[in-house]
Amino acid sequence: MASSKRRDLAGDEAGDARCPFLRCAELILPWLTPRELAAVSLTSAPLRRASLSVSLRRSSDAARGLEPLPVPFLNAVDSRPYAYFLYTPSSSRVLSPPNDAALPRQSWGGASRTLARSTAFPDREAEDVVGDVVLGCDCERCEGHDCACWSGDGGGQGEEEVEVVVVRSECGPGCGCGPECGNRASQRGVEVRLKIVRDEKKGWCLFADQAIEKGRFVCEYAGEFLTTKEARVRQKEYDELALSQGFSSALLVVREHLPSGKACLRINIDATKVGNVGRFINHSCDGGNLSTVLVRSTGALLPRLCFFASKDIQEGEELSFSYGEIRVRSNGLQCYCGASNCFGILPSEHT
Protein backbone atom coordinates (compact mmCIF):
# COMPACT_ATOMS: atom_id res chain seq x y z
CA MET A 1 0.00 0.00 0.00
CA ALA A 2 2.79 2.43 0.94
CA SER A 3 4.59 1.54 -2.26
CA SER A 4 1.44 2.30 -4.25
CA LYS A 5 1.08 5.71 -2.57
CA ARG A 6 4.68 6.59 -3.41
CA ARG A 7 4.08 5.68 -7.05
CA ASP A 8 0.91 7.81 -7.09
CA LEU A 9 2.79 10.76 -5.60
CA ALA A 10 5.61 10.34 -8.10
CA GLY A 11 3.04 10.27 -10.87
CA ASP A 12 1.42 13.44 -9.57
CA GLU A 13 4.78 15.22 -9.45
CA ALA A 14 5.63 14.06 -12.96
CA GLY A 15 2.28 15.38 -14.14
CA ASP A 16 2.97 18.68 -12.37
CA ALA A 17 6.29 19.00 -14.17
CA ARG A 18 4.56 18.57 -17.54
CA CYS A 19 1.92 21.23 -16.77
CA PRO A 20 2.75 24.58 -18.46
CA PHE A 21 0.87 26.47 -15.74
CA LEU A 22 2.97 24.89 -12.98
CA ARG A 23 6.18 25.51 -14.90
CA CYS A 24 5.20 29.19 -14.91
CA ALA A 25 4.33 28.95 -11.22
CA GLU A 26 7.89 27.73 -10.49
CA LEU A 27 9.12 31.01 -11.93
CA ILE A 28 6.65 33.15 -9.98
CA LEU A 29 6.43 31.49 -6.55
CA PRO A 30 10.04 32.30 -5.49
CA TRP A 31 9.17 36.01 -5.73
CA LEU A 32 6.27 35.77 -3.24
CA THR A 33 6.31 36.70 0.45
CA PRO A 34 5.52 33.94 2.98
CA ARG A 35 1.95 35.22 3.36
CA GLU A 36 1.42 35.27 -0.41
CA LEU A 37 2.99 31.82 -0.75
CA ALA A 38 0.67 30.43 1.94
CA ALA A 39 -2.38 31.88 0.16
CA VAL A 40 -1.35 30.32 -3.16
CA SER A 41 -0.77 26.93 -1.51
CA LEU A 42 -4.47 26.78 -0.55
CA THR A 43 -5.72 26.98 -4.14
CA SER A 44 -4.85 23.47 -5.36
CA ALA A 45 -2.88 20.34 -4.51
CA PRO A 46 -0.24 20.90 -7.25
CA LEU A 47 0.34 24.48 -6.11
CA ARG A 48 0.53 23.30 -2.52
CA ARG A 49 3.32 20.90 -3.49
CA ALA A 50 5.08 23.63 -5.49
CA SER A 51 4.81 26.09 -2.58
CA LEU A 52 6.18 23.50 -0.17
CA SER A 53 9.12 22.92 -2.49
CA VAL A 54 9.87 26.67 -2.51
CA SER A 55 9.69 26.79 1.32
CA LEU A 56 12.07 23.84 1.63
CA ARG A 57 14.58 25.49 -0.70
CA ARG A 58 14.31 28.73 1.27
CA SER A 59 15.03 26.94 4.54
CA SER A 60 18.10 25.32 2.95
CA ASP A 61 19.86 28.63 2.25
CA ALA A 62 19.16 31.97 3.93
CA ALA A 63 21.72 33.56 1.59
CA ARG A 64 19.73 32.79 -1.61
CA GLY A 65 22.88 31.61 -3.37
CA LEU A 66 24.52 35.03 -2.87
CA GLU A 67 27.31 33.64 -0.67
CA PRO A 68 29.98 31.07 -1.56
CA LEU A 69 28.36 28.59 0.86
CA PRO A 70 24.67 28.00 1.72
CA VAL A 71 23.49 28.95 5.23
CA PRO A 72 20.56 26.68 6.24
CA PHE A 73 17.81 27.27 8.80
CA LEU A 74 17.28 24.56 11.43
CA ASN A 75 14.21 24.62 13.68
CA ALA A 76 13.18 21.99 16.23
CA VAL A 77 11.25 24.51 18.36
CA ASP A 78 8.20 25.56 16.33
CA SER A 79 6.76 25.46 12.82
CA ARG A 80 8.64 28.43 11.33
CA PRO A 81 10.80 27.06 8.48
CA TYR A 82 12.78 30.27 7.94
CA ALA A 83 13.02 34.00 8.73
CA TYR A 84 11.95 36.26 5.87
CA PHE A 85 14.05 39.28 4.88
CA LEU A 86 15.77 40.53 1.75
CA TYR A 87 19.40 39.46 1.39
CA THR A 88 22.35 41.70 0.58
CA PRO A 89 25.95 40.45 0.92
CA SER A 90 27.24 43.96 1.64
CA SER A 91 25.68 47.18 2.91
CA SER A 92 24.12 49.49 0.33
CA ARG A 93 21.73 52.41 0.01
CA VAL A 94 18.55 50.36 -0.53
CA LEU A 95 16.05 52.40 1.50
CA SER A 96 13.13 50.01 1.86
CA PRO A 97 9.74 51.69 2.36
CA PRO A 98 7.99 51.36 5.75
CA ASN A 99 5.23 49.15 4.31
CA ASP A 100 6.41 45.53 4.01
CA ALA A 101 4.09 44.97 1.05
CA ALA A 102 5.98 47.64 -0.88
CA LEU A 103 9.44 46.16 -0.30
CA PRO A 104 11.47 45.49 -3.44
CA ARG A 105 11.10 41.88 -4.60
CA GLN A 106 13.90 39.34 -4.48
CA SER A 107 13.66 35.81 -5.81
CA TRP A 108 14.20 33.16 -3.12
CA GLY A 109 13.50 29.46 -3.31
CA GLY A 110 13.88 28.93 -7.04
CA ALA A 111 15.17 25.69 -8.50
CA SER A 112 18.66 27.09 -9.15
CA ARG A 113 21.13 29.47 -7.49
CA THR A 114 21.21 32.13 -10.19
CA LEU A 115 21.71 35.45 -8.40
CA ALA A 116 25.13 37.09 -8.41
CA ARG A 117 26.63 38.94 -5.45
CA SER A 118 27.29 42.00 -7.60
CA THR A 119 23.64 42.33 -8.65
CA ALA A 120 21.78 41.47 -5.43
CA PHE A 121 21.30 45.08 -4.40
CA PRO A 122 23.48 47.44 -6.47
CA ASP A 123 25.28 50.08 -4.42
CA ARG A 124 23.59 53.48 -4.53
CA GLU A 125 25.16 56.86 -3.86
CA ALA A 126 25.92 57.20 -0.17
CA GLU A 127 27.04 60.84 -0.10
CA ASP A 128 24.13 61.89 2.13
CA VAL A 129 25.14 59.15 4.60
CA VAL A 130 28.80 60.18 4.60
CA GLY A 131 27.66 63.71 5.40
CA ASP A 132 26.66 62.70 8.93
CA VAL A 133 29.72 64.10 10.66
CA VAL A 134 29.21 65.13 14.27
CA LEU A 135 31.55 67.83 15.59
CA GLY A 136 32.92 66.58 18.87
CA CYS A 137 31.77 63.25 20.24
CA ASP A 138 28.24 62.44 21.39
CA CYS A 139 29.17 59.04 22.82
CA GLU A 140 29.13 58.47 26.55
CA ARG A 141 32.55 57.51 28.02
CA CYS A 142 34.46 58.98 25.06
CA GLU A 143 37.60 61.07 25.47
CA GLY A 144 38.47 62.59 22.11
CA HIS A 145 40.82 60.67 19.82
CA ASP A 146 41.39 57.95 22.41
CA CYS A 147 37.93 56.53 21.72
CA ALA A 148 36.68 54.59 18.73
CA CYS A 149 33.26 53.15 19.40
CA TRP A 150 30.40 51.40 17.73
CA SER A 151 26.82 51.22 18.91
CA GLY A 152 23.55 49.70 17.83
CA ASP A 153 20.23 48.15 18.62
CA GLY A 154 19.48 44.47 18.38
CA GLY A 155 16.10 44.44 20.06
CA GLY A 156 14.43 47.82 20.26
CA GLN A 157 14.29 50.21 23.24
CA GLY A 158 17.27 52.36 22.26
CA GLU A 159 20.82 51.69 21.11
CA GLU A 160 23.46 49.37 22.47
CA GLU A 161 27.12 50.36 22.38
CA VAL A 162 30.36 48.43 22.07
CA GLU A 163 33.86 49.75 21.58
CA VAL A 164 35.78 48.88 18.43
CA VAL A 165 39.53 48.82 18.99
CA VAL A 166 40.57 47.67 15.49
CA VAL A 167 40.34 49.51 12.17
CA ARG A 168 41.65 47.50 9.25
CA SER A 169 42.55 48.57 5.69
CA GLU A 170 42.05 46.37 2.64
CA CYS A 171 42.50 46.71 -1.10
CA GLY A 172 39.57 48.27 -2.91
CA PRO A 173 38.22 49.17 -6.36
CA GLY A 174 41.25 51.33 -7.08
CA CYS A 175 43.70 48.45 -6.64
CA GLY A 176 44.83 46.31 -9.52
CA CYS A 177 44.76 43.04 -7.59
CA GLY A 178 42.05 40.44 -8.05
CA PRO A 179 39.48 38.99 -5.63
CA GLU A 180 41.94 36.32 -4.45
CA CYS A 181 44.31 38.95 -3.06
CA GLY A 182 45.25 38.21 0.54
CA ASN A 183 44.37 41.77 1.47
CA ARG A 184 40.68 41.25 0.59
CA ALA A 185 39.85 38.73 3.31
CA SER A 186 36.45 40.24 4.12
CA GLN A 187 35.34 40.80 0.52
CA ARG A 188 34.78 37.24 -0.68
CA GLY A 189 31.63 36.59 1.33
CA VAL A 190 30.89 33.85 3.84
CA GLU A 191 33.55 31.17 3.33
CA VAL A 192 33.01 29.30 6.60
CA ARG A 193 30.06 26.95 7.12
CA LEU A 194 27.34 28.54 9.25
CA LYS A 195 23.79 27.58 10.22
CA ILE A 196 20.85 29.51 11.67
CA VAL A 197 19.21 27.66 14.56
CA ARG A 198 15.93 28.44 16.30
CA ASP A 199 16.12 28.81 20.09
CA GLU A 200 13.05 28.81 22.33
CA LYS A 201 14.12 31.95 24.20
CA LYS A 202 16.48 33.82 21.87
CA GLY A 203 14.77 33.14 18.55
CA TRP A 204 17.04 32.63 15.54
CA CYS A 205 20.76 32.32 16.38
CA LEU A 206 23.86 31.98 14.20
CA PHE A 207 26.06 28.92 14.81
CA ALA A 208 29.37 27.70 13.42
CA ASP A 209 28.91 24.54 11.35
CA GLN A 210 32.65 23.89 11.28
CA ALA A 211 35.68 24.71 13.41
CA ILE A 212 36.82 28.32 12.86
CA GLU A 213 40.34 29.32 13.81
CA LYS A 214 41.11 32.52 15.71
CA GLY A 215 41.49 35.57 13.44
CA ARG A 216 39.48 34.20 10.52
CA PHE A 217 36.87 36.39 8.85
CA VAL A 218 33.34 35.14 9.55
CA CYS A 219 30.92 37.63 7.98
CA GLU A 220 30.07 41.28 7.49
CA TYR A 221 27.19 43.06 9.19
CA ALA A 222 25.30 44.11 6.06
CA GLY A 223 22.12 46.12 5.68
CA GLU A 224 20.77 49.47 4.52
CA PHE A 225 22.87 52.61 4.93
CA LEU A 226 20.68 55.29 6.55
CA THR A 227 21.13 58.94 7.40
CA THR A 228 20.93 59.75 11.12
CA LYS A 229 17.49 61.32 10.60
CA GLU A 230 16.23 58.16 8.89
CA ALA A 231 17.77 55.95 11.59
CA ARG A 232 16.04 57.86 14.37
CA VAL A 233 12.67 57.66 12.63
CA ARG A 234 13.09 53.91 12.12
CA GLN A 235 14.25 53.34 15.69
CA LYS A 236 11.17 55.10 17.03
CA GLU A 237 8.98 52.79 14.92
CA TYR A 238 10.94 49.73 16.05
CA ASP A 239 10.69 50.71 19.73
CA GLU A 240 6.90 51.01 19.45
CA LEU A 241 6.68 47.60 17.77
CA ALA A 242 8.97 46.08 20.42
CA LEU A 243 6.69 47.27 23.21
CA SER A 244 3.45 46.20 21.52
CA GLN A 245 4.45 43.08 19.58
CA GLY A 246 7.81 41.92 20.97
CA PHE A 247 9.43 43.02 17.70
CA SER A 248 13.22 42.67 17.38
CA SER A 249 15.10 45.08 15.14
CA ALA A 250 18.66 44.99 13.79
CA LEU A 251 19.63 48.66 13.52
CA LEU A 252 23.28 49.39 14.31
CA VAL A 253 25.06 52.73 14.60
CA VAL A 254 28.78 52.92 13.87
CA ARG A 255 30.75 55.91 15.17
CA GLU A 256 34.24 56.36 13.74
CA HIS A 257 36.36 59.09 15.30
CA LEU A 258 38.48 61.04 12.87
CA PRO A 259 42.24 61.31 13.56
CA SER A 260 41.94 64.87 14.86
CA GLY A 261 39.67 63.68 17.66
CA LYS A 262 37.42 66.69 17.02
CA ALA A 263 34.82 65.00 14.82
CA CYS A 264 32.91 61.75 14.80
CA LEU A 265 31.63 60.08 11.62
CA ARG A 266 28.33 58.32 12.33
CA ILE A 267 27.20 55.52 10.01
CA ASN A 268 23.83 53.77 10.44
CA ILE A 269 23.26 50.21 9.19
CA ASP A 270 19.77 48.71 9.38
CA ALA A 271 19.57 44.95 8.71
CA THR A 272 15.98 44.58 9.90
CA LYS A 273 14.37 44.29 6.46
CA VAL A 274 17.42 44.06 4.20
CA GLY A 275 20.47 42.31 5.61
CA ASN A 276 22.66 39.22 5.68
CA VAL A 277 23.50 36.41 8.11
CA GLY A 278 25.12 38.91 10.50
CA ARG A 279 21.66 40.00 11.65
CA PHE A 280 21.28 36.69 13.54
CA ILE A 281 24.35 37.14 15.78
CA ASN A 282 23.30 37.52 19.42
CA HIS A 283 24.81 39.37 22.38
CA SER A 284 26.97 37.75 25.05
CA CYS A 285 27.82 39.51 28.30
CA ASP A 286 31.24 37.82 28.42
CA GLY A 287 32.29 39.30 25.07
CA GLY A 288 31.42 36.27 22.96
CA ASN A 289 33.73 34.71 20.39
CA LEU A 290 33.67 37.40 17.69
CA SER A 291 35.54 40.69 17.45
CA THR A 292 34.11 43.68 15.58
CA VAL A 293 36.42 45.35 13.07
CA LEU A 294 35.86 48.43 10.91
CA VAL A 295 37.27 47.59 7.49
CA ARG A 296 38.16 50.40 5.10
CA SER A 297 38.82 49.59 1.44
CA THR A 298 40.78 52.00 -0.75
CA GLY A 299 38.41 54.00 -2.91
CA ALA A 300 35.33 53.21 -0.80
CA LEU A 301 33.37 56.03 0.84
CA LEU A 302 32.28 54.09 3.91
CA PRO A 303 33.92 51.44 6.11
CA ARG A 304 32.26 48.06 6.61
CA LEU A 305 31.55 46.45 9.96
CA CYS A 306 33.02 42.93 9.94
CA PHE A 307 33.22 40.03 12.37
CA PHE A 308 36.41 38.01 12.92
CA ALA A 309 36.87 35.05 15.27
CA SER A 310 38.36 36.38 18.53
CA LYS A 311 39.26 32.84 19.63
CA ASP A 312 39.18 29.32 18.22
CA ILE A 313 35.52 28.41 17.67
CA GLN A 314 34.31 24.81 17.81
CA GLU A 315 31.84 23.26 15.37
CA GLY A 316 28.31 23.64 16.76
CA GLU A 317 29.21 26.69 18.89
CA GLU A 318 26.93 29.74 18.82
CA LEU A 319 28.49 32.93 17.44
CA SER A 320 28.16 36.01 19.62
CA PHE A 321 29.76 39.32 20.56
CA SER A 322 29.22 42.01 23.17
CA TYR A 323 26.71 44.73 22.31
CA GLY A 324 28.30 46.89 25.02
CA GLU A 325 28.01 47.83 28.68
CA ILE A 326 25.61 50.80 28.82
CA ARG A 327 22.04 50.02 29.92
CA VAL A 328 19.82 53.08 30.10
CA ARG A 329 16.73 51.04 31.02
CA SER A 330 16.56 48.86 34.10
CA ASN A 331 13.54 47.11 32.56
CA GLY A 332 15.13 46.50 29.17
CA LEU A 333 14.87 43.34 27.11
CA GLN A 334 15.88 40.19 28.98
CA CYS A 335 19.26 38.67 28.12
CA TYR A 336 19.50 34.91 27.61
CA CYS A 337 23.21 34.67 26.76
CA GLY A 338 23.88 32.19 29.58
CA ALA A 339 27.30 33.64 30.46
CA SER A 340 28.46 33.33 34.07
CA ASN A 341 28.57 37.12 34.30
CA CYS A 342 25.22 37.70 32.51
CA PHE A 343 23.80 41.10 33.46
CA GLY A 344 20.20 39.93 33.00
CA ILE A 345 19.12 42.57 30.47
CA LEU A 346 20.47 43.52 27.06
CA PRO A 347 22.59 46.67 26.66
CA SER A 348 20.70 49.76 25.47
CA GLU A 349 21.42 53.40 24.75
CA HIS A 350 19.47 56.33 23.32
CA THR A 351 19.57 56.60 19.51
The pTM score is 0.81
Distances, alpha carbon 68 to alpha carbons 190, 194, 216, in Å: 6, 11, 16
Angstrom distance (rounded) from CA 76 to CA 72? 13
The CATH superfamily of 62-321 is: SET domain (2.170.270.10)
Q: Where are the domains of the chain?
A: 1-60, 62-321
Angstrom distance (rounded) from CA 121 to CA 280? 20
88 CA to centre of own chain: 8
324 CA to centre of own chain: 19
Question: Tens place of pLDDT for every residue, the chain, 351 residues?
Answer: 444 444 444 445 555 555 676 778 888 999 999 999 999 999 999 999 999 999 999 999 999 999 999 999 999 999 999 999 999 999 887 776 665 556 778 999 988 765 666 556 655 555 566 555 444 445 444 444 344 344 443 333 344 444 455 778 888 877 888 888 888 889 999 999 999 999 998 899 999 999 999 999 999 999 999 888 888 888 888 888 877 776 778 888 877 776 776 677 788 899 999 999 999 999 888 888 999 898 988 877 888 999 999 999 999 999 998 876 665 555 567 787 878 888 777 766 655
